[in-house]
Amino acid sequence: MGLSRYQHSFIYASLLTLLLISTGVYLNSSKISERIDLIFYDLMLPFHATEMSNEIVIIAIDNNSLEQLGRWPWSRSTHAALINKLTEYKAAAVGIDILFPDPQQGVPKADTELAEAILKNGRVALSVAPDLLADGMMIELLPLPELALGAAAIGHVDIELDQDGRCRRVFLYSGINDTRWPTLTLAMLEIAGRAPSLPIKQTQLLQSSEHWNRSHSMLIPFASRTQTPTIISWADITNGFVNPEQIAGKYVLIGATAAGLGDAFATPAAEAHQRMSGVELNAHILNALLQGRAIQPLTPLNQQILSGIITLLCAAAVFLLPLRSGLFSSLVLIISTPLISLALLQTKLLWFPPTAPLIPLMLIWPVWSFWQLSADAQLRRQLQQQLEHQTRHHKATGLPNSSMLTSRLRQLAASEQHNDQITGLMVIHFDWPGSAGTTLGRPIADDLLKAIGERLKTVTSDADFIAHMNGDDFAILLDKVSKPDLVLDSAFRLLNELQAPLQLNQEYLLLSPQIGVSLWPGEGHNGVGLLRNAYTAMFKSRIDDSEQLCIYSADLGKQVKIRSQMEQALIHAIERNEFEVYYQPQIKAGSGKIVGVEALLRWHNPTLGWISPATFIPVAEHVGLIRTIGYWILTTACQQLQQWQTIGLPSLRLAVNVSPLQFADPDLTSSIQKIIKDSGINPAQLELEITEGSLMWDMDRAIKVMKKIKHEGVDLAIDDFGTGYSSLSNLRHFPLDRLKIDQSFTREIGKNKDATEITLTILTMAKRLGMRIIAEGVETAEQASFLRKNGCDEFQGFLYSRAVPADQITQLLSESQDSSKHPML
């Protein structure tokens, strides 16, 4: 016969209670929750802060004293003089928070003077502290025997730091092998006959660090921040600026408060990011002992009993009351527990760490309500499992997604079984005309992705991990490969398989995969690096049309990183005035006159430096900024041309390049109209250079656009002719004014027979078509002579001038200005 619901509840409640009480016992006996308890203690500090006793005086080695008495350390004679002053002023007890373990060098009489002063006073306590030698041996830094003989007592200045590096407690007795040394402040009270009785036995709080033993722990009840001990500068004592009544009958602590001198500790009583000097900390300890306000931790047994009672009360309320009432009761007890701790602190000077009972209290109601609502919880778990499956698998293909791959990579990185094996990761991007979602329709697009996933399963082994990253990106993880070549062989084999036609319903599709490969161990230091590197290689494959498979290397990573930096810099280049238009003169072949200039873009980035147009123009085209940049160049160059006209310089033709993307802009003609109108130039002075690729993509559209531009009075030239796919026969269809021979042919004149013949052919055909001809890249007199002889109209190249800033063109035109001549080079 099965157990009833009541019996199940009783058993579960009993087990839960035992578990939570055990949790409290464990937390009380361990230091897991100590940091949280320390936070509670600090928050309660203002409520149990004490007033600082006016019986405590600090004689400070401060900046004023250092300025007057010189750099530290001072002569022991100086110390002796101070002790004699304190003897004269009749201090109740003197505690020196300074160590004197070694004789003073060079002045042996100084130690004798100090010993005599200490002996004469008869109420001086010297300091002892632990020290760790290089060999790991712990020793005591005792005062010189000569000084110790005259001291009324010796006390330790060992300070205990909590887990967070703050000082909140002190051990009243410490020492090597036994705890014979009282704390310095307790030694002072013993001298004055006011030492408090210690209610806690030594064995109950015995702690050992190496061989330095500590006992009689005491939590320090710091005085409030507005209550500070009386601090008198050492220099004021020696200079006689102090009234003896300020010292008479007082407990005097001597120590350093100057920055960088002596120890300083973080305490809950100090302001944020400030530290308390060791002598001030001792003043707070002395204040607590004087007022009998020393706080003692509750004994472990009493902590366990009190925690257990609180836990049982909460458990009874939660188990016996309805869920809402149980929640309210548990919240009341959760709030009450810190209040109980505060009450014990204020009334009994006992510290009860509240975290140990608080954690079970916070767990009782959630765990119990979870069990009570098990039916709903079961449903939630099922829904959660479905959600987790969806979050770890791609909806279209059912393959593991990027999150699951990342987890797998983390597992591999954490495993130590792959030190002698290779892990390879391939990231594959698939391209097809248009978007799968818009060209084929979403259902068919999902079918296509699913078909790709099935294709990947058939061309890989069962041991390979296939993931669908997002959209058109997939990944294949090859684990436990013996050598890198096997990964690369798999990648090449996979590329060949994926290039085969893929059947979808009744159609066959040709996919164009780009694959990035990374290896680990290798350039990637972990799983995340492996994935990043594979994506980097795939991205490089996508932007490099000549490679469908790219293998990651450090150099490749640098290239992509630089490209990324360049893309980011390009976005803000115009607004940050990083671009500048340079101008290269165009020369009349027969006379050597400057008849025009070509506007050429130059870019200087503060971080990347000077960047070649051959480098950043393709990037600008890729990210879609080339149209914006192109119109900026055209606007800037036209404005400059108008400036030259305004100051009376000779009329020039301005040649400006139009990129293929800019030529495809539907607003090209209207934009040119506006720029010409705004700048005020004569449109006949403007010549737009168009590449062959722009014309051949759609000849009919290109002709329409060119006719519109010609209608505005602007000349047109074909740029870099001979490097594209057009033929000379096609030129007759375009309304061109000028043909520009590419520099790759110009530079080979006289060197390469084929290049020379092609150049002659271009010159001949262009003349027959009635077009003027300009050759770029003219660098030698021989090239210029050959071109001039064969009918080339104009030259442009380093033989005459490099591209230079506008002000240099202005200077050149001004110097060469003649009413009857154009400027000459």
pLDDT in tens, 613-624: 888 888 888 888
| Percent helix, strand and coil across the chain, each to the nearest 5 | 50, 20, 30
- Backbone φ and ψ for 678, nearest 5 degrees, come out as -65, -35
Look at 187-201, 414-428, 475-489, 718-732 and tell me which has the smallest mean pLDDT: 718-732
Give residue 128's pLDDT.
Answer: 93
Contact indicator for 679, 632 with CB cutoff of 8 Å? no
Interior/surface letters 432-468, b for 16+ CB within 10 angstroms, e for the rest = beeebeeebeeeebbbbbbbbbebbeebbeeebbbbb
Contact indicator for 59, 237 with CB cutoff of 8 Å? yes
Same-domain status, 361 and 411? no
Give residue 282's pLDDT.
Answer: 92
The alpha-helical segments, DSSP class H, found in 652-733 are 660-663, 668-679, 692-697, 699-711
Which one, of 418, 502, 424, 421, lies nearest residue 459 by Cα?
A: 502
Query: Six-digit token pair at 469?
Result: 């990253």
Same-domain status, 406 and 526? yes
Q: What mean pLDDT is predicted for residues 106-112?
A: 84
Give residue 523's pLDDT.
Answer: 63
Same-domain status, 67 and 208? yes
Contact indicator for 428, 498 with CB cutoff of 8 Å? yes
What is the residue type of 244? P
Give residue 204's pLDDT.
Answer: 39
Give residue 726's pLDDT.
Answer: 53
pLDDT at 504 over 90: no
Which one, of 355, 524, 517, lies nearest residue 427 by Cα?
A: 517
Same-domain status, 56 and 203? yes
Percent with pLDDT over 90 in the chain: 29
Q: How far apart are CA 364 and CA 369, in angstroms?
A: 8
Give residue 419's pLDDT.
Answer: 62
Domain final residue pick, 552, 587, 617: 552
Contact indicator for 48, 335 with CB cutoff of 8 Å? no
pLDDT at 819 over 50: no
Domain final residue pick, 238, 259, 292: 292
Q: What mean pLDDT is predicted for residues 304-314?
A: 85
C-alpha separations of 89 from 82, 279, 320, 557 in Å: 10, 21, 70, 77
Query: Six-digit token pair at 664?
Result: 């495809």
Q: How many CB atoms lie within 10 A of CB 199?
A: 8
pLDDT tens by residue, 251-273:
999 999 888 887 888 888 877 67
pLDDT tens by residue, 765-807:
888 888 999 999 999 999 999 999 999 999 999 999 999 999 9
Residue 816 within any structural domain of the chain: no
Which CATH number goes with the domain that contains 669? 3.20.20.450
Give residue 581's pLDDT.
Answer: 94
Token match 């192109």: residue?
630
pLDDT tens by residue, 176-206:
888 889 999 999 999 988 888 765 444 334 4
Q: Into how many domains does the chain fold? A: 4
Residue 605 within any structural domain of the chain: yes
Full 3-state SS string of 426-487:
EEEEEECCCCHHHHCCHHHHHHHHHHHHHHHHHHCCCCCEEEEEECCEEEEEEEEECCHHHH
Give residue 378's pLDDT.
Answer: 61
Residues with Cβ within 8 Å of residue 201, at least 6 apart in sequence: none
Q: What mean pLDDT is predicted for residues 588-617?
A: 90
Give residue 19's pLDDT.
Answer: 83
Same-domain status, 166 and 219? yes
Token match 């098990």: residue?
374
Contact indicator for 686, 638 with CB cutoff of 8 Å? yes
Same-domain status, 272 and 340? no
Helix (H), strand (E) at residue 254: strand 251-256
Same-domain status, 477 and 584? no
Q: How far apart are CA 795 and CA 773, in angstroms?
A: 9
Give residue 240's pLDDT.
Answer: 87
pLDDT band, very low/low/confident/very high, at 444 (cuts 50, 70, 90): low
- Say whether the peptide bond before residue 73 is cis (omega within 30 degrees of 0): yes
Query: Six-digit token pair at 505?
Result: 């319903």
Give residue 510's pLDDT.
Answer: 79
pLDDT tens by residue, 629-676:
999 999 999 999 999 999 988 889 999 999 888 888 899 999 999 999
With the C-alpha atoms ordered 646, 649, 653, 654, is the resulting torsion angle positive or negative?
A: negative
Which CATH number goes with the domain that contains 457? 3.30.70.270
Length of the chain: 825
pLDDT at 441 over 50: no
pLDDT band, very low/low/confident/very high, at 8 (cuts 50, 70, 90): low
Same-domain status, 533 and 436? yes
Same-domain status, 60 and 38? no
Phi-psi group of 361: left, alpha or beta (phi > 0 → left; psi -120 to 50 → alpha; rest → beta): alpha
Residue 113 within any structural domain of the chain: yes
Q: How far apart are CA 775 and CA 784, in angstroms?
A: 9
Give residue 437's pLDDT.
Answer: 41
Same-domain status, 731 and 767? yes
Q: Helix, strand or coil for residue 246?
A: helix
Residue 419 within any structural domain of the chain: yes
Q: Exposed/middle/buried for 18, CB within 10 Å: 0-12, 13-18, 19+?
A: exposed
- Say whether the peptide bond before residue 182 is cis (omega within 30 degrees of 0): no
Q: Which comes out higher in pLDDT, residue 440 or 344?
A: 344
Residue 640 within any structural domain of the chain: yes
Residue 381 within any structural domain of the chain: no
Domain final residue pick, 496, 519, 552: 552
Query: Six-digit token pair at 402?
Result: 């990027």
For residue 182, the cross-strand partners are 173
Angle at 368 between CA 366 and CA 371, to 5 degrees: 110
Residues with Cβ within 8 Å of residue 32, at least 6 apart in sequence: 26
Angle at 379 between CA 378 and CA 381, to 5 degrees: 65
Q: Which comes out higher in pLDDT, residue 30 or 306?
A: 306
Percent with pLDDT over 70 in the chain: 91
For 264-408, strand residue ranges (E) read 264-265, 276-277, 296-297, 350-351
Residue 703 within any structural domain of the chain: yes
Residue 687 within any structural domain of the chain: yes
Same-domain status, 711 and 622? yes
Most confident of 355-359, 364-368, 744-748: 744-748
Residues with Cβ within 8 Å of residue 672, at least 6 apart in sequence: 634, 688, 709, 712, 714
Same-domain status, 630 and 691? yes
Q: How many CB atoms lie within 10 A of CB 622?
A: 15
Residues with Cβ within 8 Å of residue 138, at least 6 apart in sequence: 130, 131, 132, 176, 209, 210, 211, 212
Q: How far apart are CA 21 and CA 305, in angstroms?
A: 10
pLDDT tens by residue, 116-165:
999 999 999 999 999 888 777 888 899 999 999 999 999 999 988 888 88
Q: What mean pLDDT is predicted for residues 340-359?
A: 87
Query: Six-digit token pair at 104?
Result: 């003073």
Give residue 398's pLDDT.
Answer: 85
pLDDT tens by residue, 511-562:
788 888 888 876 666 777 888 888 888 888 877 766 788 888 887 788 788 8
Domain housing 34: 5-46+299-372
Query: Six-digit token pair at 606?
Result: 């503060």
